[in-house]
Amino acid sequence: MPKYQSLQDIQSAIQQERSSCTQVVEYYLGRIREQEHLNAYVEVYEQEVLEQAEALDQRFHEDPASVGRLFGMVLSLKDVICHKNHGVTAGSKILAGFESLYSATAVQRLLEEDAIIIGRVNCDEFAMGSTNETSVYGPVRNAANPGAVPGGSSGGSAVAVQADTCLASLGSDTGGSVRQPAALCGVIGLKPTYGRVSRYGLLAYGSSFDQIGVLSHSVQDAALLLEIMAGHDDFDATASRRAVPEFSAMLNHEETARVAYLQAALDHPGLDPEIRQATLAYIEKLRAEGHTVEPVDFELLDYLIPAYYVLTTAEASSNLARYDGVRYGHRSEEAHNLLKTYKKSRTEGFGREVKRRIMLGTFVLSAGFYDAYYSQAQRARRLIHDRTLELLEQYDFLLSPVAPTTAWKLGESLEDPVAMYLADIFTVQANMAGTPAIAFPAGTHSNGLPVGLQLMAGKFEEAKLLGFAHRLMAESGL
């Protein structure tokens, strides 16, 4: 069976009787078994999805019009997104054995269009990490080089798509957790505008940053999945009431674009020379095609990481207070009184990186340091937000690398968390400003690993962003 690049390919094969939904599912289940060494999957719903596929084939045979728009779409879910009556553990011992009582709004909307969820995939614990090495289930390995990390925190989602074990995957993006692994694994990674997709059913890390995103082989599939997931939700007050465009029908971007790139990003000493060269080459390619591409100043680049980690750790320390060993999840065997229940259960249940971020967040919110850290970070966020939107009023898109290097070796950053945090330097801007961004493949490094680039657009301008990205992918033959 050929590798499918889009839902359109799968649906065409089924309509022409060259395949069936059941055969597609069987193919992906076989791929999961073949790629088990990559450790992408936490749980596979084998019997359930086979039964679902057979039922869908029967419905399609009886009445082709009766199936939903996602008939044939095989998805995986990052282990921070709730799926009713299925486990969700955020890659953490603290939630061992927990099953969700409801589905995330995004998941429910996809299921209503007959998507098939084949399993849940590995991730950094509570989405805290840039390498997918902090999970209680062990590290995920990059399919391009199993000795390298896939990026994080949605590394399982990226590898699941990269290794052809599903057509697309849902991840979450707090500071680049969809786009960075997408770039390191050579797939598409879309982070929508904050509020475009409901966060109901997404286990919270940083509530003012988190957003459900899509990893896929094609921009078309990312557009369709976003179109179905997006929209107002009574269960999430931050979900936008804006009308949702028909993104999948708006991929014809024919006009020339005004594109800016951050000169400070390309001049940054931590940027790999080959990635810098690939970015410059892409800039010249865009100019040759008639687009206006200009350097712009962004004097706040070095403030992105400090402000981001102060704010997200502060929000994490609050959000993760609910995991206390009392109501659900891990409870220590030494929990003989209330204080020991809290202390022992959380100490045993949380991993090293999560505990580090909880302590950092508690510190910056403490009475003696709130003004020095948290308040200052909020001011920095406002400046970053305003400057980013100012640029996006002058230009259609901001172009940048996604990560300063290609995927590094497993274990390299575990003893140096600052190095791991700096890997987010080019992605956190979109989360700080709440704007949409997409990562897309841009070639291969001399070390054989994928290189990705990123486009950002103005708030709620996903249609323009997806259309331009689709055009660039088509022109590149990808």
Give the per-residue pLDDT at 1. Answer: 60
DSSP codes, 336-387: -SHHHHHHHHHHHHS-HHHHHHHHHHHHHHSTTTIIIIIIHHHHHHHHHHHH
Could you tell me which CATH number the domain at 7-249 has?
Answer: 3.90.1300.10
User: How many residues in total does the chain contain?
Assistant: 478
Q: Residue ranges of the domains in the chain?
A: 7-249
Give the per-residue pLDDT at 418. Answer: 65
Task: For Cα atoms 193, 197, 200, give the angle at the middle one, nearest 5 degrees.
Answer: 135
Give the per-residue pLDDT at 292. Answer: 98
Give the per-residue pLDDT at 411. Answer: 87
d(CA 23, CA 29): 10
Give the per-residue pLDDT at 9. Answer: 97
CA 247, 251, 436, 180 dihedral sign is positive
Q: Residue 121, by phi and psi: left (phi above 0), alpha (psi -120 to 50) or beta?
A: beta
Reported as a single tens digit per residue, the pLDDT across 125-154 is 999 999 999 999 999 999 999 999 999 999
Rounded mean pLDDT for each run of 10 residues along the chain, 478 residues in total: 89 96 98 98 98 98 97 98 98 96 98 98 97 97 98 97 98 98 98 98 97 98 98 98 97 94 90 96 96 96 94 97 91 91 95 96 94 96 98 98 95 72 88 98 97 98 98 82
Nearest to 105 by CA among 212, 7, 179: 212
Query: Annotated active-site positions, please?
Result: 78, 153, 177
**CA 59 to chain centroid:** 33
Give the per-residue pLDDT at 327. Answer: 86
Q: What pTM was computed for the model?
A: 0.96
Give the per-residue pLDDT at 300. Answer: 93
d(CA 317, CA 128): 12
Give the per-residue pLDDT at 219. Answer: 98
Name, in order, each residue with C-beta under 8 angstroms of 48's C-beta and a sequence gap of 6 or more: none
CA atoms within 13 A of residue 421's CA, in its CB half-sphere: 18
